[in-house]
Each structure stands twice: as C-alpha cells, then as structure tokens.
Amino acid sequence: MIAHVSVGVRNLEASRAFYAKVFEPLGLTELVVRENTVGFGKQFPEFWLNRRPNLPRVDADTGAHICLGARTADAVRAFHSAGLAMGGTVEWPPGLRPQYHPKYFAAFLLDLDGNKIEAVCFVGDA
C-alpha cells in the first residue's frame, strides 16, 4: 500500500541520531545516507528524513501522524524510552488503547520537529 514516507526536519544530523535510536527496537536501520536525506528501513528505505532547515516546528495539533508496527509491547516501550532519551516529547505513554481495539498497545511521541510518531503492536496481555 505505502512504499515509503518522508518527513521534513530542520536539523538532519540531530534527527538522524534521534530516529536511529527510536527505530532500533522496531528493527529499522539506516540504509541510505545522502547530503540532504537519510533513509531507514528493514530491507529498503521505508522512512526518509529530508533536510528542511527553514521548516518551522510543527504545531501540536497539525502535521502528519505516522504509526509504525512493533513486534511486542516491550519494543513499544523501548521505542518510547529511546525517544524521550533523545529529546522527544510524550504524547501518549506506552499502554493499551482499548478505544481503538482491545489489544492495541501503543506509544506516541513528538520528534524534535513536532512530527507525530507512534509505535503499535497488538497484544493479549501487556
């Protein structure tokens, strides 16, 4: 359905470091590095960061919301912890979200530019 997504970031190096740590528990690694872009993925770049130095920080209620799949609740927790350690902001702490599905376990961060990034898995008992 979707082959890849691209996110504009003001500071490519800071965002590159942020996403490298955040994606580690999800099994995504840095696959392509160019002067103004970095691509992360498992086998091919699925998530791109693009340098946009004049981009204003995204307001809390605007911008895209990108949700990535995780294999386990522990991976969701690790995603969230890594994001906070790298300067991200809590939007939702890790937990079940039964309003979406009885087994929906997710965490939601704002990255360094205010982009909304979520990790989710479906569990029986988190």
5-51+64-122, which class in CATH? alpha beta
Q: 0.85 cut: is pTM over it?
A: yes
| DSSP 3-state of 24 | helix
Tokens 């993925």 belong to residue: 41
Give 97's contacts (C-beta < 8 A, 6+ positions apart).
Answer: 104, 105, 106
In terms of phi and psi (left: phi > 0; alpha: psi -120 to 50; beta: otherwise), the region of 35 is alpha
pLDDT at 52: 94
d(CA 107, CA 53): 28
Would the pLDDT of 124 be above 90? no
Per-residue pLDDT of 17-72, as tens digits, reads 999 999 999 999 999 999 999 999 999 999 999 999 998 877 767 777 899 999 99
Per-residue pLDDT of 84-109, as tens digits, reads 999 999 889 999 999 999 999 999 99
